[in-house]
């Protein structure tokens, strides 16, 4: 496995399972992680560690669906939590990845099937459908028009706000691999990570949603 997100994942895994990551090394066709079992010093864990200050306050959202309405809902929740000063992480996986695609990506080398996939899926936030009442694209245009009139931020503005508010946007590395989407095809400011990175974050949150 030559997953670029491997480092993030193994770090999260070690932090949460109480093991110590000594280092990660790139070998021939794999990564090697040096882990010291259970070596995290337990000092400092005393009677009252579970003080209110340590109750996790983060929010994590898995954005699985690439529908316009669900994308809007996700970013409204994320930005609301960020406005409360909470750390927020959004994981974009499967169809949710499409939300993060650039309008006009640079050319990248792809296999035939990856090219097909790339063409069939909506390229970026402006091409998303509605999960309901899509009506061949009339629905999304209607919703966008109404939201503009009602002074609700557009999806593109919500994404910008999220970045400015420090919301962490993570693209699922496995989905990128399966769908043949490269980092350069995603909008700027996106990290990549796998399931261990997600679980590591989620355990430090008190609200975890799958959208």
Q: Which positions touch its own copies (CB under 8 A)?
A: 1, 13, 16-17, 45, 47-52, 55-57, 59, 62, 64-66, 69-70, 73, 76-77, 80-81, 83-86, 93-95, 113, 117, 120-121, 131-133, 142-143, 145-147, 150-152, 174, 177-178, 180, 194-196, 198-199, 202-203, 205-211
Coarse DSSP helix, strand, coil percentages of the chain, rounded to the nearest 5 percent: 45, 20, 35
Q: Tell me, what DSSP letter sits at residue 153?
A: P
Q: 22 or 133, CB closer to its own copies?
A: 133
Residues 6+ apart with CB under 8 A from 36: 19, 20, 22
Closest distance between its own copies and the C-beta of residue 57, in Å?
7
Q: Nearest distance from residue 165's CB to its own copies, in Å?
A: 13
As measured in angstroms, the least distance from the Cβ of 134 to its own copies is 12
Whichever of 27 and 188 has its CB closer to its own copies, that residue is: 27
Residue 123 and residue 106 in contact, taking contact as beta carbons nearer than 8 Å: no
User: What is the nearest approach in angstroms of its own copies to the Cβ of residue 135?
Assistant: 9
Taking the least distance from each CB to its own copies, the nearer of 15 and 102 is 15
């Amino acid at each position: 496995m030559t997953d670029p997100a491997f480092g993030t994942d193994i770090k999260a895994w070690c932090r949460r399972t109480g093991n110590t990551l000594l280092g990660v090394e790139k070998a021939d066709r794999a990564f090697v992680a040096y882990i010291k079992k259970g070596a995290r010093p337990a000092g400092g864990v005393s009677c009252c560690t579970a003080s209110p200050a340590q109750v996790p306050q983060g929010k994590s959202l898995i954005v699985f669906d690439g529908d316009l309405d669900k994308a809007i809902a996700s970013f409204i929740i994320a930005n609301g939590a960020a406005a409360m000063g909470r750390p927020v992480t959004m994981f974009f996986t499967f169809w949710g990845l499409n939300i993060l695609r650039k309008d006009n990506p640079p050319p990248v080398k792809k296999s035939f099937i990856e090219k097909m996939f790339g063409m069939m899926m909506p390229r970026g936030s402006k091409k998303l459908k509605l999960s309901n009442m899509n009506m061949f694209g009339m629905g999304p245009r209607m919703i966008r028009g109404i939201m503009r009139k009602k002074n609700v931020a557009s999806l593109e503005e919500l994404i910008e706000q999220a970045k400015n508010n420090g919301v962490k946007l993570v693209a699922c590395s496995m989905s990128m691999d399966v769908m043949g989407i490269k980092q350069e095809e995603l909008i700027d400011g996106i990290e990549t990570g796998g399931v261990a990175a997600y679980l590591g974050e989620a355990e430090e949150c008190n609200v975890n949603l799958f959208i």
